[in-house]
Structure 1
Amino acid sequence: MNTYPKQQGFILVSTVIVITVFMVLMGTYMVNLVGNQRVSTSLSQRSIQARFAAHSGMQWAINDALYHNANHLNCGQAAPTFTLTGGGTRGFTVTVNCVATPMIDSDNNNYTVYVLKVTAFQGMINRSNYVTRTIQQTICVGLPISCSNAIQ
C-alpha cells in the first residue's frame, strides 16, 4: 500500500532535467570545438600564405640584386615595402631589409655580399588575424660561383 500517491514520478522529472542539462553542456562543448578547429585551420592557411609571400619578396630581392645592381633594395637605407596584389598572397605587406658588403677575393676579384631579410605580414599586431613570416638569405654577386646560404 502506497501512502503518498501524489509524489509518484519525481525521479522521472529529475532524470529528464539532468539529461537536458547534460545535453545542453555537450552541445555547447561541440560548438566551441568546431569553432576552434575552424579558427585553427584558417590561421594555418594564412601562415602558409605568409610564407609564400615572404618567398615572393625574396625572389624579387634576389632578382634586383643579381640583374639590377640592387637599385631598388636601398641597402643600408630605408627598407622597401610593398603590398602583394595577386593570387593567394593578395594583401600581404612585404618588407625587404638589405645589407651590402663589398669584398675582394684572393684573386683580386670584386664582388658584393648581400644579406637579405624579408618579412611578410598581414593584419594588425596583437590581433587574432595577425600573421607574419621572415626569411633570410645571403647571396654573392660578381663571383663565378654561388655563396648563397638560405636561413629560414
Structure 2
Amino acid sequence: MNRSPRHIHGFSLVSALFLLVVLGALGAYMVSISGTQHFTTLHALQGAKAYHAARSGTEWGIATALGIAACPATPTTLSGGLSGGDLDGFAVSVTLDSCTSHQEAGENYNVYEITAFAQTNSPGFGQPGYAARRITVTVTNAAP
C-alpha cells in the first residue's frame, strides 16, 4: 500500500516564498547600508575640505597679521587676498580676535589670536554636503 505524495504538494512553494522574502529583505538592507556608506564618505570628504580651507585661512591670516606694525582695534575682520575661487566651494572668513603688545628685554612684540571659519557657500546645517570648520591660532612676531 503506497500512499500517493499528494499531501506534500506545496511544501516547495512555501520554502521558495520564504527564501524570496529573506533574500529580498537582505537585498534591501544591503542597499540601505550602501547609501549610508556613500553619505558618510561624502561628509568625511567635505569635512576634510572644510578643515583645509580653514587652515588656509589661518595661514593667510598669520601672514597678514605679521605685516601689521601696530595692534588694531580687535576683533577685526581681515580681508583682501583670500578668494573663494581657489577654495573649492568654501567661504572663509578670517578674524583677528585679539592683539596684545608686549615688551621684554628691551624688545617690543605683538601676540595675535586669529580665527578662520570655513563653510560651504550654501550653508544649511544638516543639509547633504554641508560642512564647516573653525580654527583658532596664536602667533607672535617676537624674534627667536
Q: Shorter-chain TM-score: what band?
A: 0.7 to 0.9
What letter is aligned with 1:129?
G
How far does residue 18 in structure 1 lie from its aligned partner after superposition?
0.4
Within 5 Å, give how 1:65-144 maps onto structure 2: 65-67=65-67, 69=68, 75-78=74-77, 80=79, 84-86=84-86, 89-122=87-120, 123-141=123-141, 143-144=142-143
Please give the alpha-carbon distance, in whole angstroms, between the structure 2 residues aligned to 1:40 and 1:49. 14
Deviation at 1:23, TM superposition (A): 0.9
Retained in 2: the 8 A contact 1:104–1:111? yes
Deviations 1:19-68 (A, max 9, x none): 1101110110111111111111111111111111011111110111123x
**Coordinate RMSD, CA, aligned:** 2.7
Moved more, 37-46 or 126-135: 126-135
If the length of structure 1 is used for normalisation, what is the TM-score?
0.77
- Percent identical residues: 22
Gaps of 5+ in 2: none
CA offset at residue 92 of structure 1?
0.6
Matched, 1:14 2:21: no
Kept after mapping to 1: 8 A contact 2:46/2:130: no
CA deviation after TM superposition for structure 1 residue 84, in Å? 2.2
Aligned residue runs from structure 1 range 21-100, under 5 A: 21-67=21-67, 69=68, 75-78=74-77, 80=79, 84-86=84-86, 89-100=87-98
Q: What do residues 79-126 of structure 1 show as CA deviations (whole Å, max 9, x unaligned)?
A: 65965212xx31111121213333232323322211011111114223
Q: Is the 8 A contact 2:113 2:137 kept in 1?
A: yes
In structure 2, C-alpha distance between the alignment counterparts of 1:110 and 1:18, rounded to whole Å: 82
Whole-Å separation in 2 of the counterparts to 1:74 and 1:131: 30
- TM-score of the two chains, using structure 2 as the length reference: 0.81
- Structure 1 alignment gaps of length 5 or more: 146-152
* Contact 1:47/1:133, CA 8 A, preserved across alignment: yes
State whether residues 118 and 134 of structure 2, in contact with CA within 8 Å, keep that contact through their aligned partners in structure 1. Answer: yes
Change in CA separation of 1:80 and 1:65 when aligned onto 2, cut-off 3 Å: same
Whole-Å separation in 2 of the counterparts to 1:29 and 1:51: 33
Q: What stretches of structure 1 move > 3 A for 4+ residues in a row? A: 1-5, 77-83
Q: Which moved more, 1:102-111 or 1:13-22?
A: 102-111
How many residue pairs match? The answer is 139
